[in-house]
Amino acid sequence: MKLLVTGGAGYVGSTCSARLVEAGHEVVVLDDLSTGHADAVPAGARFVEGDIDDVAGEVLAEGFDGVVHCAAKSLVGESMENPAKYWHGNVVTSLNLLDAMVRHSTPRLVFSSTAATYGEPESSPIAETATTRPTNTYGATKLAIDHAITSYATAHGIAAVSLRYFNVAGAHGELGERHAVETHIIPIVLQVALGQREQVQIYGDDWPTEDGTCVRDYIHVVDLADAHLLALEHAVPNEHRIYNLGNGTGFSVKQVIDTCREVTGHPIPAVVAPRRAGDPAVLVASSERARADLGWKPERADLTTIVQDAWTFTRARAGA
Ligand code: UDP
């Protein structure tokens, strides 16, 4: 297939692009490099630097079999402080992309959505039937896009799939997490192991979980990318299917830190700090529907593999 990957210079998008190239697809990456990195675009992909709003139509006019839409603003805190950036950058831009797909009869869409569309979970693990009541602007914008995709798929025959997931982690060789300001637990802990930070703060150890720290669903970025590929293959015209992707039962913050200690051999000092606003105790997605319909299952589900791959990437980037 000839595929356009928006945000293909970012963490998830670059790994998706790489896996699609490895699977023999023709890949064009469209990215404005606002948060991505030109050197993350895989060698086998063509790179178009630009805004979706400005150039998606021109690019899609070439004729494509599908779009993998990974481009997004994705920081929860920033989305609360600067909603315009998220409503315009996520929703308006995605509408422009959908309009361009309709104009140029692009038949398939896989949207990299988020389990933040559900909000505070009423039960765990979270199924696709759960109520969608996002608790932050980021989740609200992704949910709005999902609603738009449903309408466009029905009206214009697009075969669409949205993938909703929580914490992406790990790396694909030289492709990994490179955020200007790091807020995610695994990269932060690995920065401690590299000597770039003194210690890690555990945001609360009095949560109603087994060891008192928050439990999250860490999914390996390669497993996630492979789900995008399967979604492209299984998408059905006129339908918008939604799949949650999860790794299983989830891992606690303490488990993450312990695994990082084992993998890196560094003591990684940790201190307990106050809870972070907006953090639920447990976020775990049920991926039963994706397993049944797409034949997807995480192949790199154990935390050691996830941390090992992130560590190899982190060390290589730091020249350590
Ligand atoms: N966390 C932590 N210390 C940190 C960063 C994160 O204890 O320095 C916790 C956070 O409270 C959450 C989990 O680690 O329970 C994962 O947080 P992250 O920001 O990586 O992802 P999120 O679950 O917020 O998407």
How far from 15 is each of 153, 278, 296, CA to CA, in Å?
A: 26, 29, 17
Pocket test for ligand 1, best of 216, 260, 283 (most atoms within 8 A of CB): 216
Q: Which residues line ligand 1 (CB under 6 A)?
A: 167, 183-185, 188, 200-203, 214, 216, 253, 276, 279
Q: Which of 203, 252, 260, 284 to mutate to test the pocket of ligand 1 (most atoms within 8 A of CB)?
A: 203
> What pLDDT shows up at residue 233?
98
| Ligand 1 atom, smallest distance to 202 CA | 7
Q: What is the DSSP string of 127-157?
A: PTTS--B-SSHHHHHHHHHHHHHHHHHHHH-
Tokens of residue 58, six digits: 């021109």
Secondary structure in 3-state letters for 56-116 = HHHHHCCCCCEEEECCCCCCHHHHHHCHHHHHHHHHHHHHHHHHHHHHCCCCEEEEECCHH
Rounded distance from Cα 9 to ligand 1 centre (Å): 24
Tell me: the pLDDT tens digits for 289-319? Answer: 999 999 999 999 999 999 999 999 999 998 8
How many other C-beta atoms lie within 10 A of the C-beta of residue 238? 12
pTM for the model stands at 0.96
Q: pLDDT digits over 260-271, tens only?
A: 999 999 999 999
Nearest CA to ligand 1 atom 21: 184
pLDDT of 15-42, one tens digit each? Answer: 999 999 999 999 999 999 999 999 999 9
**3-state class (DSSP) for residue 207:** coil
From ligand 1's centre to the CA of 319, what distance in Å? 26
Catalytic positions: 138
What distance in Å separates the CA atoms of residue 173 and residue 171, rounded to the nearest whole number?
6
Atom of ligand 1 nearest to the CA of 204: 7
83-122 pLDDT, tens digit per residue, is: 999 999 999 999 999 999 999 999 999 999 999 999 989 9
Question: pLDDT digits over 153-172, tens only?
Answer: 999 999 999 999 999 999 99
